[in-house]
Amino acid sequence: MVVRERIREGKAAVGRKLIDVPGYTFRIWATNRIEEALALWRDRNGRATIERRIEELKHDLAADGFCTQNFWATEAAFLAVLFTFNLLSLYQQTATPKAGYRQPATLRTTVFLCGAILGRSGRQHGIASQIAKKGAHHIKLTEQDRATNRRKSRVRGGIERIFAHWKKWQHYRRVRYLGLARNKLKLTLKAVTYNLKRLAGILGVRSV
C-alpha cells in the first residue's frame, strides 16, 4: 500500500522521498490484509497515535520502570499514571483550547516546573523565566533570542551541572525509599559527596 502526502509549511511530512514528485512525500506498507486501502490507512494512523501515547507514558511520566511484587499494586500504580496523563490532557484542553497538542514533558517544563529566578523590573520585584527559546524548521531564532539564551545558559549551567552529576555518576534518577525523612537523608549525602569532590578539585587533589 502506497500513501502520498502533500508537503505543507505548517506541518512536517512523515514520509520519504521515493520518487521525484514536487510537493509530495510517500509512505509504503507491506501487508497481507485484504481490506481497502483507505481502511488500512485509517487503522494504521490510529495505531500510530496509540504508540505515541505509550512513548509519552514511558518517557515523560516514567511508566516503564516501576514493578511491585503484587499484581494489584502494579496495576494501581499504572492506573495512577494514566489518571495523571488524563488530568494533564484535561488541563491543556481547558487552559489553552485553541493551542495544539503538547506532550506531558512540555507541560511539565513550561507550566509546572518552569525554571525561573528572582529579578526586578524597575522598582518591581518578580520572577523571570529562565527557559531558553528553541527554534524549528519553521521558527527561526533572532539574534536577540540567541543573546537571551546565552545569558540564561550562564545561570542555568551551574545548576544543571549538579543535577547531571547526580544522574550520571551517582545514578540518582529516582528515589528508592518511602518517606520524606529517608529520601532527604539520601539527598543530603549525595550533596555532601558532590561538595567533597568539588572541594578536591578546587584544592587540586587528584585521585590515586
How far apart CA 33 and CA 20 sit, in angstroms, is: 29
How crowded is residue 87: how many other Cβ atoms within 10 Å of its Cβ?
Answer: 11
Instruction: Tell me the mean pLDDT in the region 93-107.
Output: 72
pLDDT band at 208 (very low <50, low <70, confident <90, very high): very low
pLDDT tens digits, 3-24? 777 776 665 555 555 677 777 7
144 versus 26: which is more confidently predicted? 144
Domain boundaries, the chain: 114-172, 174-208
**Beta-carbon neighbour count of residue 112 at 10 Å?**
10
Kindly report the pTM of this predicted structure: 0.41
- Quote the CA–CA distance of 25 and 6 in Å, as a whole number: 7
Measure the CA–CA gap between 10 and 28, rounded to whole angstroms: 23
Separation in Å, CA 147 to CA 69, 134, 141, 153, 154: 51, 13, 10, 10, 11
In this prediction, residues 118-136 reach a mean pLDDT of 68
Cell 518591581 belongs to residue = 124
